[in-house]
Amino acid sequence: MTNNLTASGLVNSASRSSASVDKAHASSHNTTDYFKALYQRDVVLQVDKLTQSFDQGGSKKVILKDVSLQIHEREFVCVIGPSGCGKSTLGRIIAGLDAYPSGKVIVDKEVVKGPSASRGMVFQGYTLFPWKTVKQNVMFGPIMEGRSKSNAERSAREWLDIVGLSKYENHYPHQLSGGMKQRVAIARALINEPKVLVMDEPFGALDPYTRQKMQKHLLDLWRNIDITIVFITHDMDEAVLLSDRIVVLKANPGEVQDIIEVPLARPRDPDIVTDSRFLQLKARINNIVHNPQPQPDFDPALAEMPDIPRMVPLDKKDQQINH
């Protein structure tokens, strides 16, 4: 792909070049074949023995320990794990926003040493520039790259069309709903044609209805463009709905507990969450995630909750009330 490729060109050429992959998506009832084909694609993101630690309370705390992953072209991978296990830390390192002391992160054959156009990022918090219009927000990357204003404007309009926000190009972020802001954020990331898009709980602040719509929109986008997505979420339904594979991190320190294939045929619709095969799979994955293991943070006192004696006398009428 070249930087001068228009958004529609990117979408069209990507759908053409990956026709066989899309076909596999559309009819992949044989999920074994689907994963066989997936693993034959090039590795676009490689994380090798990644370790990260931070100073906390005067001492170094290891947050990520020996995290290793291989993610293939056009794969959709979700990362789940308990709060504080290091999901965002991992996402920020892949995006090139944070340095890492040991291990290796390679995206599209280049060692990650800082931010680059090959990696896009969408966060949960709305991170649009409030003083710029929707169109100016989306144009930001291409302008920074040195493209002409008219060229950047043309691409921005195409991407806004793709995310369904053409009518809002002159609005400011405060005039948009949460879902619309995230669509602008997605367009702003995709206009740079990244190889890998890291999304850190991008729909976490949306109401359930908008969230479902956004999940479907993202799946449609992903099916039709040449992009690999690393999607961080707390939500198991979301992880199963979206993923080819789910990376489960455990906490203290953050290590890869398991990498689980999601053998559900594509395309998937958000309604699939009530399907019995989806529920069975979710139960199986829940079992893996909550597999009884030593839980260092588990408070044993919770298991022995005492009966609480009444500490103040009840007056007469309160004695009638049975709590």
Ligand X SMILES: Nc1ncnc2c1ncn2[C@@H]1O[C@H](COP(=O)(O)OP(=O)(O)OP(=O)(O)O)[C@@H](O)[C@H]1O
Residues forming contacts to ligand X in the complex (CB under 6 A) are 54, 56, 63, 81, 83-89, 234
Of 56 and 150, the one with the shorter C-beta distance to ligand X is 56
Residues 6+ apart with CB under 8 A from 185: 122, 123, 126, 127, 128, 202
Q: How far is the CB of 182 from ligand X (least distance, A)?
A: 17
Of 87 and 211, the one with the shorter C-beta distance to Mg ion is 87
Q: At what angle do helices 149-162 and 134-144 cross, to 10 degrees?
A: 130
CB under 5 to 8 A by kind: which of ligand X, Mg ion, none does 293 bind?
none
Taking CB under 5 A as the rule, which mask of x and - marks residues 34-73 in contact with Mg ion? ----------------------------------------
CB under 5 to 8 A by kind: which of ligand X, Mg ion, none does 85 bind?
ligand X
Q: How far is the CB of 104 from ligand X (least distance, A)?
A: 19
CB under 5 to 8 A by kind: which of ligand X, Mg ion, none does 248 bind?
none
Of 89 and 155, the one with the shorter C-beta distance to ligand X is 89
Long-range contacts of 181-184 (CB under 8 A, 24+ apart): 181/126, 181/128, 182/122, 182/126, 182/206, 182/214, 183/214, 183/217, 184/128, 184/134, 184/137, 184/138, 184/160
243 three-state secondary structure: coil
* Cα 171 from chain centroid (whole Å): 26
CB under 5 to 8 A by kind: which of Mg ion, ligand X, none does 54 bind?
ligand X
125 three-state secondary structure: coil
The residue nearest Mg ion at its CB is: 88
> What angle is formed at CA 220 by the lines to CA 83 and CA 151, rounded to 5 degrees?
100
Burial of 6 (0-12, 13-18, 19+ CB in 10 A): middle
Of 98 and 161, the one with the shorter C-beta distance to ligand X is 98
Q: How far is the CB of 27 from ligand X (least distance, A)?
A: 36
Which helix (H) or strand (E) covers residue 286, if one does?
A: helix 276-289
CB under 5 to 8 A by kind: which of Mg ion, ligand X, none does 20 bind?
none
Of 86 and 202, the one with the shorter C-beta distance to ligand X is 86
Lookup result for tokens 């920074």: 144
Q: Which range binds Mg ion by CB under 5 A, 64-72, 88-96, 264-272, 284-292?
A: 88-96
261 three-state secondary structure: strand
Confirm or reject binding of residue 124 to Mg ion (CB under 5 A): no
Q: How far is the CB of 235 from ligand X (least distance, A)?
A: 11
Residues 6+ apart with CB under 8 A from 292: none
Of 160 and 189, the one with the shorter C-beta distance to Mg ion is 189
CB under 5 to 8 A by kind: which of Mg ion, ligand X, none does 86 bind?
ligand X
Of 56 and 59, the one with the shorter C-beta distance to ligand X is 56
Q: At what angle do helices 19-26 and 31-40 cross, to 10 degrees?
A: 160
Query: How many residues line the site for Mg ion (CB under 5 A)?
Result: 2
Of 91 and 142, the one with the shorter C-beta distance to Mg ion is 91
Q: Dihedral, CA atoms, 104, 110, 114, 120, nearest 10 degrees?
A: -110
Confirm or reject binding of residue 88 to Mg ion (CB under 5 A): yes
Phi, psi values for residue 39, rounded to 5°:
-70, -15
Dist. CA 10–CA 15, nearest whole Å: 8
Q: How far is the CB of 243 from ligand X (least distance, A)?
A: 17
CB under 5 to 8 A by kind: which of Mg ion, ligand X, none does 89 bind?
ligand X
Q: List residues binding Mg ion (CB under 5 A).
A: 87-88
